[in-house]
Chains A and B, each alone.
Chain A
Amino acid sequence: MRRVKVRKTVGWVERSETQRRFSTQRYIQNLGFPRMMNSTNPDRSKSPRRPGGTRESRRHTPKVNRKGIYQRAIADAFVKLNPRIAIKNPVMFLVWVGTVITLLVTIFPDLFGAAPGRNPRLFNGLIAAILFFTVWFANFAEAVAEGRGKAQADALRATKSDTTAKKVLPDGGIQEVSSTALRQGDRVKVVAGDIIPADGEVIGGVASVDESAITGESAPVLKQPGTDIASSVTGGTRIISDELLIRVTSDPGKGFIDRMIALVEGAERRKTPNEIALTVLLAVLTQVFLIVVATLPLIANYVGSPVSIAVAIALLVALIPTTIGGLLSAIGIAGMDRVAQFNVVATSGRAVEACGDINTLVLDKTGTITLGNRLADEFIPVNGHSLEDVAGVALAASVFDETPEGKSIVRLAEQLGASVDFEVSRAEGVEFSARTRMSGTNLPDGIEVRKGAVDAIKGFVRSRGGQNNTQELDAAYEQISHQGGTPLALCQGSKLYGAIHLKDIVKPGIRERFAQLRRMGVRTVMLTGDNRITASVIAQEAGVDDFISEATPEDKITAIKREQAQGKLVAMTGDGTNDAPALAQANVGVAMNTGTQAAKEAANMVDLDSDPTKLIDIVAIGKQLLITRGALTTFSIANDIAKYFAIIPVIFPTAGIESLNVMRLASTNSAVLSALIYNALIIPALIPLALTGVKFRPLTANQLLQRNILLYGLGGVVAPFVAIKLIDVLIAAVGLA
């Protein structure tokens, strides 16, 4: 059961009017249906850029060069053997220490007392080699993840070549400096052809800027001071016409691209809270097994089954959670990398992790839930006119209207079979103005067709001497308003023809995505400047859980705080300066790249494509990161059962517990080696999974648990039994042990 609640109603704020040519939109603004209340709901049809194409096609927009990652990772994996680096991962460090000790007993087999068994050197040497590879594989996993991150970062860095900047001195003079020498607050001048040297805010001039380096969107973007959206520029983009005066808003190396580079490269990577807690638990499990194995030789000695130091170390390494220990950091880095691949800049790993926990998404209606333009949905004839007539008049009134709304009227009319039956070149378009609140066409034969606000059209008809029979039109008006649509009236000369139903079009597929989110336990709240009737219709249609109509920026913060007071984690998108406080308040705030600098600073992620629906994908990435971590932890620990059953029965020759050797492993040495080889090989085998992540499905928690526990829990119990047995058969066949 979904509840659609209605929230407070607040007066609306007049926005600055800059785009005169958008006639129909201006009608709507003056129809008493406050359209875009404020810049929290920027009108995306007018925003400088709308990304085109599907999201998948826009991924990896900065060309990522993946060549040579593996070669570099192979070398890096050796560098990471440096004890000072290795000690950061306690589990793998212990394996590293074990490697050194087994190496010592390979060289001096009797170092810790006389060694039993034949040819202990070969056996110890093999163990040392396997342990070495276990550590190296773990390093390799991390290096590959870092390498992929670096490749992503290099692609970004290519956009950030060191350029010369024209710094404006306090006395008005201009000095050429390197872009790296710029500091926050400096003013620079850029002219057509220049690369913008740093992130900044436009304080003077009007110019078009090519931002394709960052967004992959080829259409140039208009930049001018004073507007929320169009006044921020990003370092590395190119100005292609005119000139701009820019105030630098970040020191070099502090821009958000720099932050993303640092993050995906792993250099600046700080462990996330959950990662820290997991590391603690893994370290404790390691300690537990260290105690178990350290006490074992003494206890075993008592019953005359001495355990050699190499076997004890082998047992220890088999038991401690090396699989997850070796892959943990790779999983984290790969998660950040996935976010970057979506063209989203995250400023911390914590934010990505928090995405998985999001309970509520606060979404703007326009551009996120609806397409952003109202489109003609239906014509309602009045006063005895036929539908065909109305379609013809509507078409005639809209031929000069270039707005999406106008075009949609043309499209609808043509679908209904209407055609232009006059010479367009001789007709004259009548632009919308705030005074007339209508637009239309003066036909060559002097007939005036108009569409516009209902009372404006009524007035027009009256002024042309038409009768005052408006009952049917009023009824149509009522009907359309009731359905949450925007009515336009239509007339030809002194005759009222009908009403046009302009409707907010919900994005295709958005309803399904909200349903998925609901199944995942994420509530969606729609924010809109529309009145409550319109809002509730859209809310019903899109399937959001809640909506806030006639919302102001304050309402946004209030809504977020109210959710947070219930312990919920809230994510939101925003781009205006007055979104900044709400972005900062939200647990995950995603700013649009087209947004203002203030919004970007307040957010913990910036979407370079300025696609607000991407928030939904980011939630999925966060969840995927956590699931991958959990799945590999479970798998790693479940593996212990098989390793125990491989090693314990065979290392106490006098205990007579051979029948516990359920896998029937060939010999003591081959059993120990098989378990260890499995333990080492499982790390590279799981690298692809760690890097791409466990596939996330929008299911409920219980379904997910059931699925994953079957796969990684039960699989983790069974798989090693099979694998160790196979390795044992191979070892026996080769005659290694």
Chain B
Amino acid sequence: MLLGLLQIALTLLIVVAITPLLGRYLAVVYLGNKTWLDPAINPVEKFIYRLVAVRSQEQMTGWQYTRNLLYSNLAMGVLVFLLLMLQGLLPLNPTGLNAPTWDTALHTTISFVTNTDQQHYSGETTISYLSQIAALGFLMFTSAATGLAVGIAFIRGLTGRPLGNFYVDITRSITRVLLPISIVGAVLLIILGVPQTLTGPATVTTLEGATQTIARGPVASFEIIKQLGENGGGFFGINSAHPLENPNAASNLLETVAMLCIPTALIYTYGVFANNIKQAWLLFGMVFAIFTILVVVSAVGEYGGNPLINSLLGEQQPNLEGKEVRFGWAQTALWAVSTTATMCGAVNGMHDSLMPNGGFSTLFNMFLQIIWGGQGTGTAYLFIYLILTVFLTGLMVGRTPEFFGRKIEKREIVLASVILLIHPIAILIPSAIALAFPDTLAGISNPGFHGISQVVYEYASAAANNGSGFEGLGDATLWWNLSASGVMLAGRYIPIVALLLLADSMAQKQLVPETAGTLRTDTGLFTGITAGVILILGALTFFPVLALGPVAEAFQIAKGG
């Protein structure tokens, strides 16, 4: 128990230590300040801008930013869809894989372009090396960079700056953040034993004399951006539980930190932009507290094990079903909560096998979307909740609500409402449809309360652009591919449009000077109230499904069956 908790504490300590460093670096990158990387990167960026004819000095309005984001994402999506459909004709296909079905290809494309990386296929038997690198690997960088760009543009707007230039932001995100860290990370992973090769699968003879084919490929480079960019789409079907993706405790630590570091650091980056580090730490503290509680809740559940099995064993054993023994209950619980909190979606164990505590925590993360939240967008959602809190409680100080000197009026509330509304629509409506036709649509493997969790998890994962699967769900069907695609698109782009327009409208507001009568949002009191509003607005929306899913399941197990 103690050792497990120590592992968790150590990982979180590293994340907290990295936060101010990376946060400040991100601020430098997006404020356009000088860094020591400039001499190497500036010429490259200039070349890129010239190549695609981007006027890098040009500021974009909210609509321009949105339009360019949508068009470029669409173009990338079309390109990747074609690559997948034509992979049988293209090189770097040592196993001679043919095109996947059109709906799987479509789902996969949308899944990767929206930074979701929900996978209704197994990589080693479906996707060629070229597709892994040029199609999916490419999108892993651009979708993460798109998210970062949105987050940064939102922070800029909130702090009264012009939103910036989408192409510059996406380029700098890749050249100065994702790529450098990925290179270092990939080398470290290779050192730790992750393969990086273009040769086909190895065929070996096992100790028993049987012949076994071991899939491999350019895994290390794929793995690091999968974690760092909150993508989560594994090279292999079983994702980071696979020994070639995540061979040992050290690689597990590296990958956990990689998936947590950017969303955590972005809150600090906000502090630098707003010139209010205090508020950044307060918000960080609030999110960190909720996160830690969820980690502990899950870890305790896994450590306690399944009472039904324990009673058969005659002793208390941690729940190790669906877990890699080399990670154990603690690292799996931490990973499960981290991956759903950050919208990474990579898994190092079977979430379907988590105890109800874990099922609750992972679902809760994806319902709220702000316990760190997705790359860039999560931080923006956090501020949406802050704005809603200001609006709901700010009246109580006798002034019309304002956030950092900017009045919150009808337009801002409408845009924030879109974000508030889209999530339950995207999760609950398709879930209800799937559960209404369990035999034809759902493909549930464990009926009952767990079945509800399976279905709701799938759509929550899609809507939150998380991409992890509860698994156990027969999801490679036309219904799941298409409905999940729709949910992913709605969950990704509708909030992004609302966020950018909201940021634009905040940026253009006349600044109201701060007086003693102004509600301060950088106090412990206000942060506490924000936590309350998040729990009431975010969690209560999904309280009934949580009650019928993991909560009911927990009581059922506790009762003994």
Q: Which residues of A are in contact with B by a Cβ distance under 8 Å?
A: 273-274, 276-278, 280-281, 284-285, 287-289, 291-292, 294-296, 298-303, 305, 319, 353, 356-357, 359, 518-523, 566-569, 622-624, 626-627, 629-631, 633-634, 637-638, 640-641, 644, 648-649, 652, 655-657, 659-660, 696, 700-702, 704-706, 708-709, 712-713
**CB pair A626 B431 closer than 8 Å:** no
- State whether A701 touches B517 (Cβ < 8 A): yes
Given A630-B395, A648-B543, A648-B547 in contact, is the A299-B552 Cβ separation under 8 Å? no
Residues of A within 8 A of B410 (CB): 273, 276-277, 280
A520 to B398, CA, bound (A): 9
A291 touches B399 (CB 8 A): no
Question: Per-residue CB proximity of B429-473 to A under 8 Å, as 1/0?
Answer: 101110110100000000011011000100000000000000000
- B396:A712 contact, CB within 8 angstroms: yes
Nearest B-chain residue to A355, judged by Cβ = B398
With contacts A303-B548, A567-B510, A702-B525 taken as known, whether A629 is within 8 angstroms of B436 at the C-beta atoms is no
Q: Is the CB of A277 within 8 A of B413?
A: yes
B540 touches A657 (CB 8 A): no
A-facing mask of B384-395, CB < 8 A → 1, else 0? Answer: 000010011111
Complex contact B396–A630 (CB within 8 A): yes
Inter-subunit contact A655/B395 (CB<8 Å): no
| A291 and B424 contacting across the interface, CB-CB below 8 Å | yes
A652 to B555 CA separation, bound complex (whole angstroms): 13
- Given the known interface contacts A280-B417, A303-B449, the answer about A696 and B435 at a Cβ–Cβ threshold of 8 Å is no
CB distance B396 to A296 under 8 Å?
no
B292 at the interface (CB under 8 A from A): no
**Chain B residues near A713 (CB, 8 Å)?**
393, 529, 532
Instruction: State which of B417, B424, B456, B536 has its C-beta within 8 Å of the C-beta of A637.
Output: B536
Which residues of chain A come closer than 8 Å to B513, judged between CB atoms?
359, 566-568
Known A-B contacts A520-B517, A657-B547; the reply to A623 vs B556 at CB < 8 A is no
Q: List chain B positions with a Cβ less than 8 A from chain A.
A: 388, 391-401, 405, 408-410, 412-414, 417, 420-421, 424-425, 428-429, 431-433, 435-436, 438, 448-449, 451-452, 456, 510-513, 515-520, 523, 525-526, 529, 532, 536-537, 540-545, 547-548, 551-552, 555-556, 559
- Residues of A contacting B397 in the complex (Cβ-Cβ under 8 angstroms): 627, 630, 701-702, 704-705, 708
Q: A359-B513, A629-B395 are in contact. Are A701 and B519 (CB under 8 A)?
A: yes
CA distance A444 to B63 in the complex (A): 91
**Is B540 a contact partner of A641 (Cβ separation < 8 A)?**
yes
- Are A302 and B398 CB-contacts (below 8 A) given A291-B425, A657-B555, A713-B529? no
Q: Is the CB of B525 within 8 A of A705?
A: yes
Q: How far is the CA of A659 from the CA of B518 in the complex (A)?
A: 44
A353 touches B400 (CB 8 A): yes
CB of B545 within 8 A of CB of A299, answer yes
Which chain A residues lie closer than 8 Å to B452 at the CB level? 299, 302-303
CB distance from B114 to the nearest CB of A (A): 22
Contact residue among A277, A644, A709 (Cβ-Cβ distance under 8 Å from B396): A709
- Contact A627-B451, Cβ < 8 Å, known A295-B428, A638-B536: no
Complexed CA–CA distance, A353 and B413 (Å)? 18
Chain A residues within an 8 Å CB radius of B526: 705
Residues in B neighbouring A655, C-beta threshold 8 A: 449, 547-548, 552, 555
In the assembled complex, the Cα of A630 lies from the Cα of B388 at a distance in Å of: 12
Cβ A660 vs Cβ B547 within 8 A: yes
A280 to B545 CA separation, bound complex (whole angstroms): 26
Can you give 25 contacting A-B residue pairs, CB < 8 Å?
Answer: A277-B408, A288-B420, A288-B421, A291-B428, A299-B544, A303-B452, A567-B510, A567-B512, A623-B399, A634-B393, A641-B536, A648-B547, A652-B547, A655-B548, A657-B551, A660-B551, A700-B516, A700-B517, A701-B398, A702-B525, A705-B393, A705-B529, A708-B397, A709-B529, A713-B393
Closest chain A residue to B528, Cβ basis: A709
Chain A proximity of B526: nearest CB distance (Å): 7
Asked if A701 and B516 make an inter-chain contact with CB atoms under 8 angstroms apart, the answer reads: yes
**Judging by beta carbons under 8 Å apart, are A709 and B398 in contact?**
no
Return chain A residues, CB-CB under 8 Å to B398: 356, 520, 622-624, 626-627, 696, 701, 704
Provide the bound-state CA to CA distance between A277 and B420, in Å. 15
With A and B bound together, what is the CA distance between A404 and B410 in angstroms?
A: 53
Chain A residues with Cβ under 8 A from B519's Cβ? 701-702, 705
A273 contacts across to B, CB distance below 8 A: 400, 409-410
> A709 — which chain B residues lie within 8 A by C-beta?
393, 396, 525, 529
Q: Is there an interface contact between A706 and B525, defined as CB atoms closer than 8 Å?
A: yes
The complex places the Cα of A696 from the Cα of B555 at a distance, in Å, of 47
In contact, B396 and A708 (Cβ under 8 angstroms): yes
Q: In whole angstroms, how far apart are the Cα atoms of A627 and B401 in the complex? A: 11
List the A side residues contacting B542 at CB < 8 Å. Answer: 292
Nearest CB in chain B to that of A706: its residue:
B525
Contact of A652 among B408, B451, B532, B552 (CB under 8 A): B552
